[in-house]
Amino acid sequence: MTDYITFGSKRIDFELTFATRKSLGITVTPDLDVLVKAPDGTAITDIKERLRKRAPWIIRQQSFFLSFQPKTLPRKFVGGETHLFLGRPYRLQIIDAKNEEVKINGKFIEVFTPDKARTETLVSEWYLQNAKKKFHAIAAPLIKRFKKYDVEPSSIILRNMPTRWGSCTPRGKIILNPELIKAPKGCIEYVIVHELCHLVHHNHTQKFIDLQTREFRDWEKWKGRLERLLA
């Protein structure tokens, strides 16, 4: 069943299930959902009271995961429009040409094409090609650093994810959203380090936070940049 509580001016929706267990469990998922598992027979008033006491933690967890939700506004891919690449803004310039090519020239992303309708496809392919190259180059020294913890990702792959910047599978595969190529290098490093920390600690415990801080001291700064930049 679904229900909600209010905490100050904020409404917190949650999904409630009952099970044979001794204590109440609260989980915040990367998609910002709040899942509550309660012992059979627990009164809803007691559940809500417990949730209100845990509300500050729930809100912090949702804020933490929010940095992994791409929020880039839709683009029309027309001349003069601003697009980001590694954190820097560039103006889109569409140039009529026989051969198709995309490249950066000064403050412009130049798109050479005989068909303007192809602009979005060409720019998207250009972003993906650069993401493949840049992400692996940025990840290499970070992966090497984490070998002291006897961990190493089985692979790094790119996949469009509407609600996450990165994820880590139980088998150690790190998945990165190619949209990250629009963010500064520090933001990309933050997401990669975050996922590498998951190879050591699977959940967002204090040990996880301590490890992330030890290996990437400025992670909060770059987390904030990621939240603001691609809004």
pLDDT value of residue 231: 52
| Strand duo 108-113 + 155-158: pairing | unpaired
Cβ neighbours, 10 Å, residue 171: 8
pLDDT tens-digit readout, 159-177: 988 778 999 998 899 999 9
* Domains in the chain: ranges and CATH: 2-66 (no CATH), 82-229 (3.30.2010.10)
Task: Quote the radius of gyration of the chain (alpha carbons, Å).
Answer: 21
Q: What is the pTM of this model?
A: 0.70
Q: Determine the 3-state secondary structure of 96 from DSSP.
A: strand
Q: Label residue 135 by pLDDT band (50, 70, 90).
A: very high
Contact 128, 158 (CB under 8 A): yes
Instruction: Decide if 98 contacts 109 (C-beta within 8 A).
Output: no
Reported as a single tens digit per residue, the pLDDT across 182-213 is: 999 999 999 999 999 999 998 888 999 999 99
Summary mean pLDDT of the chain: 90
What pLDDT sits at residue 194? 95
